[in-house]
Amino acid sequence: METQQEVWQNMKGNFFRKSITQLVEEAIIREQANGHRLKVCVGSDSHVYGDAINYATAVVFVREGKGAFTFIRKERQIQTISIKERMLNEVNRSVEIAYAICAVLDAYGVEMEVHADINTDPDFKSNTALKDAMGYILGMGYVFKAKPYAFASTNCADMMV
């Protein structure tokens, strides 16, 4: 499945006008040719600014023992929604990208995790979406990670949103 026309960028601010599946495949070929073992982590985060919500989705390539690099997609929506709905929108963005790239990852033997910027501590507001998010991600057959292990969403996407 291919997502709509996308503009992805890296952490340095370089823009790529290619599909995420193309970017992922090119990155895997390059990194595996250099002898790197990879894992991909997908996560999203959002911030509210008045009546606007800014989202960022990160596709993080972790090179075993050799650092990482990231592709980021940013989006902005004008709407007012509950914290639970916003958390589930983040998860939906991550699952959409995970679904788009899973065939490429499988073809090259690369593992994937989907990260949710949701706190496992019930004292935090985002926790209201934990069970739904976990069920959605696990139900799609992906490995699920939440805070504090969800670095793709809580660090990478958060930095760019």
What are 14's two structure tokens?
């370089």
pLDDT at 161: 86
pTM of this prediction? 0.93
Q: What is the pLDDT of residue 3?
A: 41
Whether residue 24 lies inside any domain: the answer is: yes
Confidence at residue 5, expressed as pLDDT on a 0 to 100 scale: 54
| Residue 155 in this model has a pLDDT that exceeds 80 | yes
- Coil, strand or helix at 96: helix
> Do 140 and 116 contact (CB within 8 A), yes or no?
no
Asked if the structure places residue 3 within a domain, the reply is no
User: Is pLDDT at 2 greater than 70 in this prediction?
Assistant: no
Could you give the CA distance from residue 116 to residue 74 in angstroms, rounded to a whole number?
16
Assess contact for 38 and 64: CB atoms under 8 A. yes
- Percent above pLDDT 90 for the chain: 92
Tens digit of each residue's pLDDT (9 = 90 or more) over 22-72: 999 999 999 999 999 999 999 999 999 999 999 999 999 999 999 999 999
Domain membership of residue 97 (yes or no) is yes
The token pair at 10 is: 């890296």
Domain count, the chain: 1
pLDDT-derived band at 1 (thresholds 50, 70, 90) equals very low
Is residue 51 included in any domain, yes or no? yes
Task: Tell me, yes or no, whether 95 lies in a domain.
Answer: yes
Residue 2 lies in a domain: no
Q: Helix/strand/coil (H, E, C) string of 5-30?
A: CCCEECCCCCEECCCHHHHHHHHHHH
Q: Examine residue 44 and state whether it is found in any structural domain, yes or no.
A: yes
Phi, psi for 86 (deg, rounded to 5): -65, -45
- Evaluate whether residue 73 is within a structural domain: yes
For residue 20, give its domain range: 8-160
Residue 105 has pLDDT above 90, yes or no: yes
DSSP H or E run through 107:
helix 83-107
